[in-house]
Amino acid sequence: MDTKVTRVALIGIGNLAKFFVDEFKQHPSEFAITLVTRQESLDRAKALASGDPHISVCAVDYSDESSISEAFRNQDVVISFLAFGGEVHQIAAVKAAIKAGVKWFIPSEFGVDLEHPANKRLPLFAQKLEVRKLLEGQSEMAYTYILTGLFADQFLIPFRKWDVEAGTVVVPGNGKAKNSYTARKDVAVYTLAILRRPDQFKNTSARLASYTLSYNEWIEAVDRVSGKKFETTFEPVELMEGRVQKSSGDFSFSVIADLLAITIANGDQRLDWGGHSLDSVGLQEVTPTPLDDIISLSF
């Protein structure tokens, strides 16, 4: 990939797409964007693209590889936002991108580090690993896994057992383990910085983090910004593991929450583990959103 990347296709209108579109709109002369989505989401895609002549919209049939391939024709890079559980469509998107002659594919990772043994063995990520297997088994197209840790601006939510109105939080484990967090706006800004360095991130992972924090550090910051004193309950890892074992492989909402909470309790969502370093440190043109600003969004 020794040529400049200018033509970008975004497939899927997931919860990250808006942040990417907003960031691309800040650089209209640098990138031409195509939003690729299903017919059902076409109006939403058009609303996102509204007001920018450098952004076009294309409806496809996710079950029709040739339909996706036609939308990807003449694109330099495809960035996937296909939602969790939609990996079967992402496999079709990878094959379509290869067929269309796309140079670079960025799959819908943006979060959990699937190279970490604790995450790799979780069955709920099995299909994501299949996407990786497909990408790594071909040589026609480059790929990059963008790893961001947990979304900082979606952390103070009931799924993570925060109740910001009541001022309570249930902490997995003892709250001391540090993990990686990135605001979704920052994910978009970091990714654009990566698009300007295609050869540096070819066929590898980009490890990006706005913050590296423990649960206890989160609580201290939330107390300070909100002016509240959060009532904190610590939940033993063994208790969560017991609930998971009783579930007999049923990946309900609560079981998924427990599985991910266990990894947080153990610090398995920290990206600079095992000798890895954070690539975000080298992207010096990016200034992460201040943590106080992220916390303020919830109050």
Tell me the C-alpha distance between 180 and 268, whole Å: 9
Cβ atoms 24, 33 nearer than 8 A? yes
Tell me the C-alpha distance between 211 and 188, whole Å: 16
Note the residue count of the chain. Answer: 299
Cβ atoms 115, 271 nearer than 8 A? no
Fold of 154-177+213-265: UDP-galactose 4-epimerase; domain 1 (3.90.25)
Query: Residue 66: CB partners within 8 Å, gap ≥ 6?
Result: 96, 99
Domain residue ranges in the chain = 7-149+181-209+271-286, 154-177+213-265
Q: Which residue has the tokens 């007999």?
A: 248
CATH code for the structural domain at 7-149+181-209+271-286: 3.40.50.720
The single-letter code of the amino acid at 111 is: G
Enumerate long-range contacts of 247-256, CB under 8 Å, 24 or more apart. 249/123, 251/123, 251/124, 253/159, 256/124
pLDDT tens, position by position, for the chain (299 residues)? 656 899 999 999 888 999 999 999 999 899 999 999 999 999 999 999 998 899 999 999 998 999 999 999 999 999 999 876 667 799 999 999 999 999 999 999 999 999 999 999 888 888 899 999 999 999 999 999 999 999 999 999 999 999 999 999 999 999 999 999 999 999 999 999 999 999 999 999 999 999 999 999 999 999 999 999 999 999 999 999 999 999 877 778 888 999 999 999 999 999 999 999 999 999 999 999 999 999 999 99
Q: Which residue has the tokens 């890892």?
A: 237
Cβ atoms 172, 235 nearer than 8 A? yes
The single-letter code of the amino acid at 58 is: C
pTM for the structure as a whole = 0.94
Tell me the C-alpha distance between 79 and 107, whole Å: 6
Question: What does the DSSP assignment read for 129-159?
Answer: HHHHHHHHT-SSSEEEEEE--EEGGGSSSGG
Within 10 angstroms of residue 231's Cβ, the number of other Cβ atoms is 11
* pLDDT given for residue 85 in this prediction: 66
Cβ atoms 285, 193 nearer than 8 A? yes
Tell me the C-alpha distance between 18 and 189, whole Å: 12
Tell me the C-alpha distance between 197 and 275, whole Å: 23
Tell me the C-alpha distance between 10 and 36, whole Å: 6
Q: Which of 111, 236, 243 is nearest to 171 (CA)?
A: 236
